[in-house]
Amino acid sequence: MTFTCRPMRPKDVHECVDIVAAHPVIRQRYGDALSDLKAVWLALMGREAFRPVVFEDSQHSHAGIIGDGVSVFVSDHFLRALKRSPFFWVGPELTRWLSSGQAPLLSDCEMRQRNARGGLTVATWEGAIRAEFLHCPEVLTAFCSAFIENHQGFLLNEVLGQGMTRDTLDLSLRSGFLLLQEDGRYADSGESPLDEVFEKPHHIGLTRELALSRVGSWVGSLFVCQAPQCGFRPSEQRLLLTALRGGTDEELANDLAISISAVKKMWLSIYERVSTHLPSLLPNRTFMQESVERGREKKQRLLNYLREHPEELRPASP
């Protein structure tokens, strides 16, 4: 089986909440807060601090969404509450805060400022899989790989999460995450049996300082970050993020709900920006020399660069 990951769309939210509601463990954590989850997720769509994705079986397109993962960039106020004992389940608590008008997530402006200077904290809100895929190793691998891919390139100070199943908790700890202790320190799980840890609210995570001291951990790659060179506009970043998933200009226009002429103008602006800041990446050619084949080659070289430099596609102030 092969599973693909893509951003969650507004039309996906109902199905994604149903997956959470059907999950044998996660639904019990929410209680009454589950009834507000759909409205809260829909209200957050488009926010820079809200990072929802869905997973699909690429070999069986009719199968629909098989799982969803949601992460958020949280405020210092929520982080302090999250790390204070007694611990709570993150997803339900975020739902309650937002339903009551509180603001646990960073604003778009705060995201740009802190990703350029100061650093960010990301917390996993939810990760739910349909019952028939719960113990599928390929799905668990897809979830972990997607989390790394979707958060590389940010200037991260700290990453926190919780186990959606006992298997994912075990995998996360073996990947380099540590268990948050009641005194606010991160440490190995120690003598506590994983089943006991999993049954009650818990947090696993890692800070930049700890990641740098634990050379070789898989999750440590999250904290590798360089300054962006090109300074793409948010609209250009959205186009490039969509282009990385493949598709023609016509398909990009449809996904972004803009005209095909707007897509072409944006590509020209992107190439001009890259030629200014990274001239060796896209050698200049005259209009007459720019064949269709060379145009494809130029786009592919740019997309290959962006796969290796995700920081170019993250929000940041100049």
d(CA 254, CA 12): 17
**List of domains in the chain:** 3-223 (3.40.630.30), 234-313 (no CATH)
d(CA 108, CA 202): 29
CA 46 to chain centre: 13
Could you tell me whether strands 50-57 and 178-180 are parallel, antiparallel, or unpaired per DSSP bridges? unpaired
Per-position pLDDT tens, the chain of length 318: 678 888 999 999 999 999 999 999 999 999 999 999 999 999 999 999 999 999 998 765 555 899 999 999 999 999 999 999 999 999 999 999 999 999 999 999 999 999 999 999 999 999 999 988 888 888 888 888 899 899 999 999 999 999 888 888 888 888 889 999 988 899 987 667 888 999 999 999 999 999 888 776 778 888 988 999 999 999 999 999 989 988 788 988 988 889 999 999 999 999 999 999 999 998 665 444 555 556 788 899 999 999 999 999 999 876
Residue among 158, 148, 51 at smallest CA distance from 114:
158
174: tokens are 């073996």
Q: Judge contact between 279 and 270, C-beta under 8 A.
A: no
Could you tell me whether strands 120-129 and 156-161 are parallel, antiparallel, or unpaired per DSSP bridges? parallel
Strand order in the sheet with 156-161: 3-7, 50-57, 65-73, 120-129, 156-161, 204-207, 178-180, 186-187
Of the chain, the end-to-end C-alpha distance in Å amounts to 42
d(CA 285, CA 118): 40
